[in-house]
Amino acid sequence: MDNKDIDIVKNMKTIDWLKSELLTNIAYLHRIFIDSELNSKENIEDTLSNIIIQSYLLGKRLGIGFERIDSAMKDNIRLNLIQEHKIERWYGDLSKLLDHIDDR
């Protein structure tokens, strides 16, 4: 195998590892909500931030840049605003999130 083949295999293994880590953290988030000993604001923050980080890294390994992910997120938020998503109607969270992303 030449270096290019090794890089492709390494990237594929990294993608699989990131997918596994993402699923593990999603499962752990569910466990946090069930187990009162784990249920703390700090555990929830850490797990949610891990999910976001892993999503960005997975996108990068799949050839999608961080800026493109941000742009797609904004597009999805705007679409949900147009479609009057329940979360927006009830709490205004989508508008707040869009403002947060735009302020970065």
Instruction: Quote the tokens at residue 31.
Output: 């466990």
Angle (CA) 28 11 21, round 5°? 5
Residue-averaged pLDDT of the chain? 95
Domain ranges of the chain: 1-64, 65-104
Q: What is the pLDDT of residues 37-68, one digit of tens each?
A: 989 999 999 999 999 999 999 999 999 999 99
Residue 84 CA to residue 90 CA, distance in Å, equals 10
**Residue 103 CB partners (closer than 8 Å, separation 6+):** none
pLDDT band, residue 1 (cuts 50/70/90): low
Q: What is the pLDDT of residues 66-79, one digit of tens each?
A: 999 999 999 999 99
